[in-house]
Copies of this chain bind each other. A is one copy, B any other.
Amino acid sequence: GVTEEDVHQIVNRALSRFSEDRIGLVDYALESSGASVLSTRCSETYETKTALLSLFGIPLWYQSQSPRVILQPDSNPGNCWAFRGSQGFAVVRLSSRIRPTAVSLEHIPRSLSPKGSIPSAPKDFAIYGHEEEAPREGTFLGQFTYDQDAEPIQTFWFQEEPLATYQIVELKILSNWGHPEYTCIYRFRVHGEPEE
């Protein structure tokens, strides 16, 4: 059996990890650390009505639903980048040059979605590494599937660790979980080993 002391230790370790950006992995795509969105190629940002902030019925401004939000930690419902359709791109300049080993995608949990389903969540996606000089030709790093039935934050490790280092990484969404009009990205993180 476990003692009360054991329980306190398990709880404290879990809370420490929780406060390490939830997963305890450095995020080289974090805006506050210096990362930025370079391009979304042909993706068309979808202007949801929810973006309009108003006070006393007077519109204040359209909330920044720019792609930047995918590099920001706040993942309350609505704090996502929505693009039209089910295919979209985000080319991200990382905070430093790294050997990428994994990426994480995040969506809101089903429990916080009005109908208990998350059809606008991304499904299949691919990751590419880019050289600054030739941003159009990327190196394929991996393809994965975000699971709508699993935890909100999902981390995907590259099977073959790339030999090269990159400062530019592209997220290419290939499909979503069924929403006919748009796809929402709450947060995209890139993990890896810093260049020596």
Name A residues whose Cβ lies closer than 8 Å to a Cβ of B: 1-4, 6-8, 10-12, 14-16, 18-22, 24-28, 30-34, 36-40, 48-57, 63, 66-68, 73, 76-79, 93, 95-96, 109, 111-115, 151-152, 194
Closest to A78 in B: B32
A78 touches B37 (CB 8 A): no
Q: A1-B3, A3-B2 are in contact. Are A53 and B31 (CB under 8 A)?
A: yes
B111 touches A24 (CB 8 A): yes
Tell me which residues across on chain B come within 8 A of A37, comparing CB atoms. 55-56
CA A14 to CA B32, docked complex, whole Å:
29
Closest to A10 in B: B7
Tell me which residues across on chain B come within 8 A of A113, comparing CB atoms. 26
Q: How far is the CB of A92 from chain B (nearest CB, A)?
A: 11
B78 touches A34 (CB 8 A): yes
Tell me which residues across on chain B come within 8 A of A73, comparing CB atoms. 76
Closest to A110 in B: B20
B12 touches A112 (CB 8 A): no
B114 touches A96 (CB 8 A): yes
Closest to A109 in B: B20
